[in-house]
């Protein structure tokens, strides 16, 4: 079993509706994102998943968030664009693209700062 990951980042603004503090005001972050694919085995040339393929799919999703007011996106019109909801957004937009007989999307980590973040593993309905 192999956990294969890439790290990337995006810059975006948001505010948390109904938050009892300063985070209710518009502000921005340079979010760091780590996407991990779990491979059960490797292909004929020794790869679980080609980093090039993983980077391509992740870039397509993260580019939708980069340099945006996240609250203005349809996906966050009702949901607060918290790190938790951002991780779910990324996961849901990658899960089908990163599903293969050999590997599957395992987790998405989102960090607002170098010291604060979370990891989302999807729900239990996703086949492993």
Name beta bridge partners: 91.
none
**Residue 109 near residue 94, CB atoms below 8 Å:** no
**Residue 118 near residue 110, CB atoms below 8 Å:** yes
Specify the pLDDT at position 124. 54
Average pLDDT for the chain = 95
**Residue 65 near residue 88, CB atoms below 8 Å:** no
Question: What is the SS3 assignment for the chain?
Answer: CEEEEEEEEEEEEECCCCCCCHHHCCEEEEEEEEEEEEECCCCCCCCCCCHHHHHHHHHHHHCCCCCEEHHHCHHHCCCCCCHHHHHHHHHHHHCCCCCCCCEEEEEEEEEEECCEEEEECCCCCCCC
Enter the pTM of the model.
0.93
Residues assigned a catalytic role: 23, 67, 112
The band of 128, judged by pLDDT with boundaries at 50, 70 and 90, is very low
Domains of the chain: 2-120 (3.30.479.10)
Provide mean pLDDT across the span 98-107.
Answer: 97
Evaluate if residue 78 carries a pLDDT over 60. yes
The band of 123, judged by pLDDT with boundaries at 50, 70 and 90, is confident
Distance CA 116, CA 4 (A): 22
């Amino acid at each position: 079993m192999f956990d294969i990951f890439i790290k990337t980042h995006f810059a975006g603004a948001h505010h948390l509706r109904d938050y009892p503090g300063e985070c209710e005001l518009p502000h921005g972050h340079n979010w760091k994102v780590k996407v991990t694919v779990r491979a059960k085995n490797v292909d004929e040339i020794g790869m679980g998943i080609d980093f090039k393929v993983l980077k391509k799919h992740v870039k397509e999703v993260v580019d939708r968030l980069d340099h945006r007011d996240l609250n203005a996106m349809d996906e966050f019109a009702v949901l607060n664009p918290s790190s938790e909801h951002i991780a779910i957004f990324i996961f849901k937009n990658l899960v089908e693209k990163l599903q293969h007989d050999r590997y599957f999307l395992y987790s998405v980590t989102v960090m607002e700062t170098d010291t604060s973040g979370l990891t989302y593993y999807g729900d239990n309905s996703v086949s492993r």
